[in-house]
Structure 1
């Protein structure tokens, strides 16, 4: 970790506080009501003695945080540290390990203008704290998390939770906050016949995942122990936190359902600092909410137990393409429109795939993978449809622009273990869900692709078509979870991500948002994916959770009556201001 991002508490208490206050607008020195969180210029803010005592109570694991760019500026300048930050700022593993960094750089700063601490600006440019928390607890035990939660609640502090910092909308950071960092919770333990606490019967093979485990660590264990799980396509995502609690979409969703469908037990630190077990036999309301109700909202899940899915054999179709933006978009249309017929060739309905199109200043590119589980070779009907696709691409003049490869895997764990990280960058994103019924018609697929790819995109923007649905995702309709019931009808998920320059703190699409037109393609629509949220999502409670939102509000009030755990566009956030500092209702 960089020295600028992480400083031992006792070394820099007065120095960093003075740096922080030097660039902070003057606040009232009065003690706020419980309607607002306590901030550094308030009388209720913990004294240096309070922080020292708290640090001792958590075994010295409290640190001051500064933005990772602080080493490049002012009196904090350190040539070696600055060079390290500049060299690694686009390294997802590095950012995951830095408590003072997020994977989406624009969310490290306040406002919508320039960044607060840019590593590339002149040395004499001030480095402001921005949205980076003032303190972090690098917790090593559950007891330290419990102590931190109780301290934050007693002192009325803003709390954020961070593992890798992938959370959309910058939910792992907030001004004047205390970060509880779960990155050291690396438990991965498989049990062949797991009986949930207070249950009587085994639910089969499971894997228990600590709050700090990343996808690449879980896939390594899967190769070693012979299992797979529902996971995303970026290997530095923390799988046990917001990913699974927000639903958790993956390439095996058609085979096994969402990640949240496969959760069987949580060990949770509540807003009162208690450690509880939530499963189908106790604390059932909390268990329900944690299965799709959104991360960072109902407690800190220090351990999550999920089904260890069988390590199936399978076949993967990989298509890569490079060319002009126009060429790439046309190839994307062919693939996305061909997928419904390819999927229909799979009698089990378990085939899933994605197309990722990235626009660049010079050559743009496509990465696409289609996964057909539980087969040794392509079924004849699917092979015929894939041949139709490649013939159509060739006839359209794209034979020199793409490659298509079919690989058989004896164990799909080897395929998932090859997932790569997505480089961190500033981005604004949004998503739309489309029904399988609409997408699997010729006119529906054409309308979706034409609309999505006819928007304004700039260099570095990405468009993702995640083609999953039906199969077990639909068959899990009877499961009682917080996941929006509309997910059971999904056939296609589309996301648009706008790249934001390193010097920008922009957080909204603005007037040229692609999302407005994309949402209008299917009416009534199915909503959006809470884990890939547009800050300006209209009617977001319904878009993310449909009819489950009222019940989620009730669970939130039962387990966190004071709103200690609140994130942007999360359950209960409508009661708070933009940074969840003061109640507005």
Structure 2
């Protein structure tokens, strides 16, 4: 079956064919199709992008399309139906469609709507925001940093074909299953995307026997399965089961989440999602399908468990441990300008709240909170007691309320109990939105720093909010109940085992802002906002899925003592850097030059 690629848009590809030139040999790489560039006094060997002599011809794209069953498409930004024309790198086409524009505009902030699109990034900063929905069709719509081509993969062979094509033609390759990413890893200028969201298989195992010796309940998930779907089906089992997922229900479980680590409400009990992984089926950079576990390719298995999202292979499916669901209880807490406009009083309330972080995690309590969004605003929703009655949770939380009462500040609170954590998850965690543009950073607070100098932590919080940022906090301990003998079996930074609070910092800014404004915002995030948190908790670390990729010493911040081993594994399984995502193992000499566009290797 022929795709739309070779109807209206096929002529664009044909017209865009470039006469082949002599191949360029770059020392250290087998591939000879490199484009040589210079910038800032340095020389670079770059991937092939539209307009380059090595960009595939229309005949080669047609051959790829045939090999993927007609599932290759030229990518058009999701906002394009609101514009008269889309001015893409392969030509200009008419795109205005009033009905589709209305649909995109109405659903722009819906995570699930964005997930189902071919190449949308849920947060738009790294797309360059050049084609957002508009009410003025005569505005300009360009591709920005969205990918050029996309394979909507339906089979393993489709993924293999895409991997082999990108490797042969030296293209920038992006792997996307949901686009649920703060750091722009699901998009990339001049790239080919392999979209794996159609891999929706779910298989439950009553007694799974793993290579690591585990025997117990498990679930095998396709790469595109989202948290809400597997949790719903696990809840329907008898008895109901749980798996470790993030607090956000729309995230894809068997993709970037597990490769980055994967923390959530069950982390106090079982560590990271990566700690619960039993086996992967992956396609490596050589185009081969491999089963990876503690016996088969154990080094790659270790790296895939937290060693860097999109860095080592394409995950086709993954198998994880399942756990019994339990009755649970939750409490909310809100302190904002409706309760006080006195900054001194507000920040003292924040200090009191956060001083209970070690108390909460020591009692296996998970806490999700937001601080600073909209000014004087502490929004805690929820404080979670898994396996606890409401009375037990209230007894743990009551000292906090006693201290707030003694301070004389008012607040709002609610308490609820549920038969299962799944029911709490659906009722007390708030729905997140997509379509916003911001820079994302973050840091973790080590127990020893919170205990030794909590005053410095709160002063850092004040600096974060004063700098125009806000925070999202997650109180948990990834080493609380996971046996110490298990800690080294995943690539997770060892420092995470001593964390009591993982923070996300957000600096709002448009992706289409002037370059000078972007540079100022990035500097503010790296050195003012996150700099304050690093100074307050020198024994903390950073979480690769929710942190500033441009922070100093990112290798140590993300992986600590595990980094040298990850570098070696990357070189073994992906020697030419086919799988690139920013600030992951082995990317030290890779840069996006020419204003963040061309992906190149510094010579």
Is the contact made by 2:443 and 2:547 (CA closer than 8 Å) also made in structure 1?
no
C-alpha deviation, 1:215, in angstroms: 1.4
Matched, 1:205 2:217: yes
Is the contact made by 2:20 and 2:53 (CA closer than 8 Å) also made in structure 1?
no
C-alpha deviation, 1:477, in angstroms: 5.3
Per the alignment, residue 522 of structure 2 pairs with: 509
Aligned pairs for 1:78-227 (under 5 A) are 78-109=97-128, 115-120=129-134, 122-196=136-210, 199=211, 203-225=215-237, 226-227=240-241
SS in 1 for 2:601: coil
Distance 2:16 2:354 in 1: 50
Distance 2:430 2:66 in 1: 39
SS in 2 for 1:354: strand
C-alpha deviation, 1:186, in angstroms: 0.9
Distance 1:278 1:584 in 2: 32
Gaps of at least 5 residues in structure 1 are: 1-6, 110-114
Distance 1:528 1:202 in 2: 30
Is the contact made by 1:219 and 1:417 (CA closer than 8 Å) also made in structure 2?
no
SS in 2 for 1:193: strand
Picking from 534, 538, 543, the partner of 1:519 is: 534
Structure 2 CA distance for partners of 1:19 and 1:394, relative to 1, 3 Å: farther
C-alpha deviation, 1:383, in angstroms: 3.8
Is the contact made by 1:477 and 1:485 (CA closer than 8 Å) also made in structure 2?
no
Per the alignment, residue 570 of structure 1 pairs with: 584
C-alpha deviation, 1:30, in angstroms: 6.9
CA deviation map 1:320-364 (0-9, x unaligned) = 4443684765544332222333444x3xxx222222235227x84
Structure 2 CA distance for partners of 1:582 and 1:189, relative to 1, 3 Å: same
Aligned-residue RMSD, C-alpha: 2.8
> Which piece of structure 1 moves more, 548-557 or 389-398?
389-398
Per the alignment, residue 398 of structure 1 pairs with: 409
Distance 1:480 1:249 in 2: 16
Matched, 1:436 2:451: no
Is the contact made by 1:312 and 1:411 (CA closer than 8 Å) also made in structure 2?
yes
Distance 1:91 1:251 in 2: 23
Is the contact made by 1:245 and 1:294 (CA closer than 8 Å) also made in structure 2?
yes
CA deviation map 1:508-542 (0-9, x unaligned) = 5324631111110123x232111112132110011
Is the contact made by 2:208 and 2:216 (CA closer than 8 Å) also made in structure 1?
yes
Matched, 1:410 2:419: yes
Per the alignment, residue 369 of structure 1 pairs with: 382
Matched, 1:488 2:497: yes
Distance 2:19 2:109 in 1: 35
Distance 2:177 2:352 in 1: 38
Structure 2 CA distance for partners of 1:175 and 1:552, relative to 1, 3 Å: same
Give TM-score, length-normalised by structure 1: 0.88
Distance 2:156 2:490 in 1: 26
C-alpha deviation, 1:267, in angstroms: 0.3
Per the alignment, residue 463 of structure 1 pairs with: 471
CA deviation map 1:173-201 (0-9, x unaligned) = 111111000111111211011123xx495
Matched, 1:286 2:300: yes
SS in 2 for 1:303: strand
Is the contact made by 1:220 and 1:417 (CA closer than 8 Å) also made in structure 2?
no
C-alpha deviation, 1:246, in angstroms: 0.6
Is the contact made by 1:247 and 1:259 (CA closer than 8 Å) also made in structure 2?
yes
Distance 1:243 1:310 in 2: 22
Is the contact made by 2:304 and 2:312 (CA closer than 8 Å) also made in structure 1?
yes
Matched, 1:13 2:32: no
Aligned pairs for 1:523-538 (under 5 A) are 523=538, 525-538=539-552
Give TM-score, length-normalised by structure 2: 0.85
Distance 2:99 2:378 in 1: 35
Gaps of at least 5 residues in structure 2 are: 25-32, 35-44, 86-93
C-alpha deviation, 1:368, in angstroms: 2.8
Distance 2:263 2:20 in 1: 45
SS in 1 for 2:463: coil
Aligned pairs for 1:56-67 (under 5 A) are 56-67=66-77
Total equivalences in the alignment: 555
Matched, 1:72 2:82: yes
Per the alignment, residue 339 of structure 1 pairs with: 357
CA deviation map 1:434-455 (0-9, x unaligned) = 212332x2x5333212311333
Aligned pairs for 1:218-237 (under 5 A) are 218-225=230-237, 226-237=240-251
Aligned pairs for 1:207-286 (under 5 A) are 207-225=219-237, 226-286=240-300
Per the alignment, residue 51 of structure 1 pairs with: 61
Structure 2 CA distance for partners of 1:550 and 1:216, relative to 1, 3 Å: same
SS in 1 for 2:219: strand
> Which piece of structure 1 moves more, 301-310 or 568-577?
568-577
Distance 1:130 1:367 in 2: 37
Per the alignment, residue 28 of structure 2 pairs with: none
